[in-house]
Structure 1
């Protein structure tokens, strides 16, 4: 084989590789540009399970301090989904705290979860629900009840439905 044939073969080989179809790789669509001051929420992978319509009866007291400095002191008494007593204070390390007292709320829902609305006209809500492992007391839109700058780190309190003590987080 002479040099011309070599060059022709090499050119034919390069053209056959260059013209071969490329594998199609699907790319995820680019996320929309972030709005100023707003975080983009990740799309849920699975649809959340609805809260079971369950009658909650609990006399709960949870007082503990975590290794990271997060601390909570919560008392709650619920009979047949009616909140009779609630006093909850949580601390985010030494940076600040949030405080909730039943006198500042009125109950607006009993099922499928308990909902308490702040009487000050704010959008603050306290939510209580039960699953097989715990009773959860959570807050929503309650920045006014917290030291500025800590609300995003203020987690719900979890009670053991059998004992009323703090539930295991793990």
Structure 2
């Protein structure tokens, strides 16, 4: 009678060995794409057009408030690609602000675009370039100069190169 409890276990083992794998489990994984070789070069991604070098001279003041509460107050004077004055504060609605002052930066590049680096050892940079419609003042890696949580919405300021006012965004 001691063999009777083993019968269900023996029956289960027999049934499992007769089980067939489901078709999806038997399917081989799709082949990996082959690495490009000299005979088959990788397709090139389109590259952005580089910023053309311009001699930037601008006495700009841009103060405006958007309907959604975003606001900017920027004063910048550049003479032959040398930044002489820069004071910029922007507000991301009522959630916070970012602030930049020339006294906290040193100019490290004049062409093809202007670059200012923070003097406090952070990686914060201000970038200035011109295209036919506007002069752009942008920031990069400057989260520490902004209220926490708003940096991703802190957009550049755009100046009209003809009169120094705020440029139209459209």
- TM-score past 0.5 threshold: yes
What range describes the TM-score normalised by the shorter chain of this pair?
0.7 to 0.9
Question: Equivalents in 2 of 1:145, 1:165: separation in Å?
Answer: 24
Partner of residue 57, structure 2: 57
Partner of residue 145, structure 2: 145
* Helix, strand or coil at the partner of 2:61: strand
Partner of residue 4, structure 2: none
Query: Deviation per CA, 1:56-104, whole angstroms, max 9, x where unpaired?
Result: 0000000000011100000000000000000000000000000000000
Aligned structure 1 segments of 4 or more residues deviating by more than 4 angstroms: none
Partner of residue 166, structure 2: 166
**TM-fit CA distance, 1:168:** 0.1
Partner of residue 68, structure 1: 68
Question: Equivalents in 2 of 1:53, 1:62: separation in Å?
Answer: 23
Partner of residue 125, structure 2: 125
**TM-fit CA distance, 1:157:** 0.1
Query: Deviation per CA, 1:16-60, whole angstroms, max 9, x where unpaired?
Result: xxxxxxxxxxxxx9xxxxxxxxxxxxxxx7321101111000000
Q: What TM-score results when the alignment is normalised by the length of structure 2?
A: 0.73
Q: What TM-score results when the alignment is normalised by the length of structure 1?
A: 0.73
Rg larger in 1 or in 2?
Answer: 2
Stretches of structure 2 lacking an aligned partner (at least 5 in a row): 1-32, 34-44
Query: Deviation per CA, 1:89-130, whole angstroms, max 9, x where unpaired?
Result: 000000000000000000000000000000000000000000
Alignment of 1:78-157 (within 5 A): 78-157=78-157
Size of the alignment, in residue pairs?
Answer: 127
Stretches of structure 1 lacking an aligned partner (at least 5 in a row): 1-28, 30-44
Coordinate RMSD, CA, aligned: 1.1
* Helix, strand or coil at the partner of 2:103: helix
